[in-house]
Structure 1
Amino acid sequence: MPAALPLAADELAAWLRLAHARGLKPIALRALLGAFGLPQQVLGAPFDALAAVAGRDAAQAVLAPPDAGFAQQLASVAAWRAQPGNALVTLADPAYPPRLLTMPDPPPLLYVKGRLDLLHARSVAVVGSRSATPQALEDARRFARTLAAAGLAVVSGLALGVDGAAHEGALPERGGTVAVIGTGADLVYPAAHHALARQIAAQGVIVTEWPLGTPARSANFPQRNRVISALVEGVIVVEAAMRSGSLITARLANEMGRDVFALPGSIHAPLSRGCHRLIKEGAQLVETPEEVLEALGLAQPAKPARRTRAKDTQTQTQTLPLPLPLPLATPPTPLEAQAETLLAALGHAPATLEILAQRTDMAEATLQATLLRLELAGHVSALPGGRYTRASHC
């Protein structure tokens, strides 16, 4: 895959002027570049010639003088490009991701941090709720890990919740991960993902169409979602409410002819309703990452042999202990806070004692006692196989 082309100072300035000219839409810019060639030639064309190709509004936007801060912007971009791992990829660059060229309005400039080759790899998006349930976070990591182990780059939006979990799951695997962000490449949003963003820039790739210094604005994210949809072969929605931005990503992917997959959930869980709506509208219901790989025509990755440890052997030969009775010598601490924590960790999908222990960090005796209290109160039901679930009315 070719590296990003070097840009002379005048060419860089011309690209920046056109890419960020107010009122000049990407589809109009693409038409002008097709008609006149280089951005310098677009800027040098007369008004009537520009208007004949893209309309009077586009012509006015091209010929308008740059903003007062343009010289500083140009210097900032030049300095940013000079940093190791950073690249500015133009619409005319052979390194521009080919899948984005199928869009009617591909971004004229891409600010890239990290592995440019991942933008050319086969990829799938894993997206979902920002306020995801523990089960959804586990599912996102598991799907991303398996898909990336099979060689797919996992694309997401660096948001809290499902996006972050998907990046974390894919990072160590050979497919890697792509973060499409809705801010400038010199900013990280949300701030809680600074460490994750550094890892992705070092091992995967961060990409954005927004100029340096662009803060997080709500209007930026639907535009970011269209880039996610265009980059990938399919979109997996792990968990989503009815008004989730993930549904926008799925809709855009469907309009672009990409596959849409959705994980089902409990009919009582508000964050499952978006996925259920997608399934009703024709999205493929998937329960395992292997089903996604099969739909995309990829062989299932070989599972590494599991080393048996003494602890594992002991677990296999023993049944789970019965819930311990509450201690009689001293009264138990109030369980209200513990019960709420446990119910939140349980979510709306069945979970085993081992999973609940990992999610809550509760001691075994405390966990079992709290489960018993919730079961007796009618909030939790025990299922075969040592699993627990919320009662239907909770």
Structure 2
Amino acid sequence: MPNDLIYFLILASIEGLGCRGAHRLLDFFQTPSAIFSASMGDLIQQGISEPVAQSLLSVRKRTQAEAELAKCQQNHIQILTFHDDAYPQILKQIYDPPVLLFVKGDLTCLNMPSIAIVGSRRATPYGINAAEKLARELAQRGLTICSGLARGIDSAAHRGALEVQGKTVAVLGSGLDYIYPRENRKMAQQIEQSGCVVSEFPMGTSPTPQNFPIRNRIISGLSLGVCLVEAAEFSGSLITARLALEQGREVLAVPGNITSKNSFGPNLWIKQGAKLVQNWQDIVEELPRPIKEQVLSSSKTSSDAPEPSLFSEVLTGAEKCVLELLRDDEASHVDHLLERSRLSSSELLSTLSELEMKDKIKQLPGKNFVRKV
């Protein structure tokens, strides 16, 4: 197997070969070792250019692959090849599946029923709230949440799953040693504990812009459906939705305010036939029947015996007052709340703290607050 891993690492690293070229060689020669035992003429007969064939057989490429394998072992990174049993079966169905995947975390997540939640990096409080809520409620019911660890909607989707100790998969547009954005390093570590972080890019690969459309096909490819939450006209998440459609996946969208530029993508997709999503049930309804029945069955069981809340749901007069001032689609600054609520500064801060503990509101950066949906 170590030799096969080396061969797969070489195949994945050859410029000009690509996933489809590598799969063409694997289909013809059957095993990686047979590819590297073939003559230059045999490789060229399979449509491989002479420079690519020379690169495949070069000693330098093997040395680089051996160094890459050593780095992965040192960093506890697992390498899944296309021939491995643990390679996600649903990903094999797409037109150009990666020859290999670098994975950190729980491999089993990659073969669990998954929903992708993607959207704008510049998300509004409404979008953050919606993504977190959907991810939280789907993860509670046993579905894995897949996204790209980007700022905005992606981070909200991962966070929602993590809040309920659910499974979530983060697909990177860089090497696993280069977490981007940097502020999500802690989140990536949390994901490794309850899910996994995945990339087809070798270690040391920086998050260059051209990598993200490439990784988007993996996000949609790992998922039964893609749910779009906020995307401007030229958002990269629209690429993910289009790829999902091409891959035969369900495309769903959360509708948005028609005056917001972030609503362009979801509203357009809904107009073109995507399923309009208002709650987790709307997503589950579109899943294959056995999975849908399993999710709905577990949901019914859990709803029969709701968990008691740590905090009383009875709200004080001050809490009701502040809650009525907050919206779920627009953040309010603490100074604005101080002026409108007519509470003292200490009373307001205490009330906001209580509402956060009761899971009624969420604090955003800059002392801004929004009502949770």
| Range of TM-score over shorter length | 0.7 to 0.9
Tell me what 1:25 maps to.
18
Structure 2 contact 10–61 (Cα < 8 Å) conserved:
no
Tell me: CA distance 1:365–1:88, structure 2 relative to 1, closer, same or farther (3 Å).
same
The structure with more radius of gyration: 1
Unmatched runs of 5 consecutive residues or more in structure 1: 1-6, 324-350, 370-394
Tell me what 2:147 maps to.
156
Tell me what 1:337 maps to.
none
Structure 1 contact 136–238 (Cα < 8 Å) conserved:
yes
State the Cα RMSD in Å.
Answer: 2.7
How many residue pairs end up in the alignment?
Answer: 331
The one of 67, 71, 76 aligned to 2:63: 71
The one of 350, 366, 373 aligned to 2:339: 366
Please give the per-residue CA displacement for 1:12-33, whole angstroms capped at 9, x wherever unaligned: 3222211111111211211211
Residue 171 of structure 1 deviates from its aligned partner by: 1.7
The one of 219, 224, 228 aligned to 2:219: 228
Please give the per-residue CA displacement for 1:326-361, whole angstroms capped at 9, x wherever unaligned: xxxxxxxxxxxxxxxxxxxxxxxxx94245798634
Taking structure 1 as the reference length, the TM-score comes to 0.77
Tell me what 2:162 maps to.
171
Structure 1 contact 113–201 (Cα < 8 Å) conserved:
yes
Tell me what 1:36 maps to.
29
Tell me what 1:305 maps to.
306
Matched, 1:245 2:236: yes
Structure 1 contact 21–66 (Cα < 8 Å) conserved:
no
1:194-213 to structure 2, matched below 5 A, reads 194-213=185-204
1:313 partner SS:
coil
**C-alpha separation in 2, matches of 1:88 and 1:56:** 25
**C-alpha separation in 2, matches of 1:67 and 1:238:** 47
Matched, 1:87 2:78: yes
Indicate the structure with greater helix content: 2
Taking structure 2 as the reference length, the TM-score comes to 0.81
**C-alpha separation in 2, matches of 1:257 and 1:275:** 18
1:179 partner SS:
strand
Amino acid aligned to 1:299: L
1:246-261 to structure 2, matched below 5 A, reads 246-261=237-252
Residue 277 of structure 1 deviates from its aligned partner by: 0.7
Please give the per-residue CA displacement for 1:148-195, whole angstroms capped at 9, x wherever unaligned: 111110000000000001001112446400000000011100111111
Q: Which moved more, 1:351-360 or 1:165-174?
A: 351-360
Unmatched runs of 5 consecutive residues or more in structure 2: 343-373
The one of 132, 138, 157 aligned to 2:129: 138
Q: Which moved more, 1:129-138 or 1:30-39?
A: 30-39
**C-alpha separation in 2, matches of 1:67 and 1:263:** 52
1:51-62 to structure 2, matched below 5 A, reads 51-53=44-46, 55-57=47-49, 60-62=51-53
Residue 362 of structure 1 deviates from its aligned partner by: 4.5
The sequence identity of aligned pairs, in percent, is 38
**C-alpha separation in 2, matches of 1:155 and 1:314:** 36
